[in-house]
Amino acid sequence: MSLDPINFFKGALEIPSTSGQERLVAQYLAEGMGQLGMKAWVDEADNARGQLGSGPLQIVLLGHIDTVAGTVPVRVEGDKLFGRGAVDAKGPFVTFILAASQLSKEVLDRATFHLVGATEEEAPSSKGARYVAPKLKPDFVIIGEPSGWQGITLGYKGRLLVRVRREKDHFHAAHHEPNAAEELISYFNSIKAWAEAMNVGQGTFHHVQYTLRDFRIQPAELKQVAEMVFDLRLPPRLLPEDAIRHLLAYAPPTIDLDFSGREVPYVGPKDTPLTRALRTGIRKAGGTPVFKYKTGTCDMNILAPHWPVPMVAYGPGDSRLDHTPLEHVEIPEFLNAVSALRHTLGQLAEKAGAQAHPTN
């Protein structure tokens, strides 16, 4: 049985699914996978799961189905499909579903495909990816993230989330002493200076990036309380624990630091059976493959330590539209990505079969 690809995609966009609220869209996607002949279900982490094929080669196709907040009216304008998640990242996961559903019986006899529409990727928890990490043992992994249909993403920066708090006795504003908020500002400025010094002579992917996420001052009575949250995007040369040592060294003893979201940077090799198959698939669909490195983070960072196998990120869409009010995907690009991925998966299975049964 087949589904109209654009209507199926559009239906997924019409179901809101901010982090922690993915169950309805997971049910929709599981129902679609079932209609396409897959074993399909929603698991305990609210992941949309699909499985097809019976071969020994294990291939995981994992893309997140949660989105950030904010409504982008779902609509088709010309060749553009708008909606929250069109790029980041329901579009890539729908691409996975449609590409897998078009595989031949010969391919399905050689490989087993595990589809995971993962939850809470946009939250620090990465609940969906962490849930399946110990349950699957893939030979190859493709993560659903926007790379552009001709792009192959090999690496993502790591991440560290930092929560800073300062509490001190209140005093009159005329008193010549930094208040709690000013102390936090001074600390953040010192971290900015450290990051900028680390970035001298480095390309963008190798920069330490910093973003102030929140800053709050509680009304002062007997105590002043100021809190801020910032995150760091970490290049491959700087692991989270190394960054923490720097942050502690710059911190005065009067402030409290809390660290979370310790995601390790990941960079995969250019030449693997997976990258070769994906390059071939893109060319067969009429494209010119190009390698990319992203300054953000994704479930690749979570899963790479658990699954030390060839891994890339792939999917239609321009990542510059992530989280924006104009989030949309070009429909021809989406359909090209489905075609490229179908060729890729067939190529992987074919090569695996040839290696398992070499000719004399």
CATH number for the domain that contains residue 284: 3.40.630.10
Q: What is the mean pLDDT of the chain?
A: 94
Q: Hey, what amino acid is at 294?
A: K
- Locate 277 and state its tokens: 């198959």
Quickly count: other Cβ atoms within 10 Å of residue 91's Cβ.
29
Under the banding of pLDDT at 50, 70 and 90, the label for residue 356 is very low
210: containing domain: 158-263
**What's the whole-number mean pLDDT along residues 333-349?**
97
Residues with catalytic annotation?
Answer: 66, 121
- Locate 125 and state its tokens: 């928890």
- Same-domain pairing of 317 and 171: no
**What's the whole-number mean pLDDT along residues 130-152?**
98
What is the rounded distance in angstroms from the CA atom of residue 230 to the CA atom of residue 211? 5
What is the rounded distance in angstroms from the CA atom of residue 351 to the CA atom of residue 217? 60
**What's the whole-number mean pLDDT along residues 116-137?**
96
Under the banding of pLDDT at 50, 70 and 90, the label for residue 357 is very low
**pLDDT at residue 60 is higher than 50:** yes
**What's the whole-number mean pLDDT along residues 326-350?**
97
Which residue in 53, 47, 150, 43 sits closest to 100, CA to CA?
A: 53
Lowest mean pLDDT of 1-15, 72-86, 273-287, name the range. 1-15
Quickly count: other Cβ atoms within 10 Å of residue 217's Cβ.
14
Q: What percent of the chain has pLDDT over 70?
A: 96
pTM for the whole structure: 0.91
- Locate 329 and state its tokens: 């995907």
**What's the whole-number mean pLDDT along residues 13-21?**
98
- Same-domain pairing of 189 and 301: no
Taken in order 43, 48, 53, 57, is the CA torsion positive or negative?
negative
- Same-domain pairing of 247 and 164: yes
Which residue in 152, 92, 97, 101 sits closest to 278, CA to CA?
A: 152
Predicted pLDDT of residue 353: 57
**pLDDT at residue 97 is higher than 70:** yes
- Same-domain pairing of 48 and 133: yes
List strands edge to edge, sheet with 75-77.
75-77, 80-82, 328-330
**pLDDT at residue 174 is higher than 90:** no
What is the rounded distance in angstroms from the CA atom of residue 328 to the CA atom of residue 77? 10
- Same-domain pairing of 283 and 137: yes
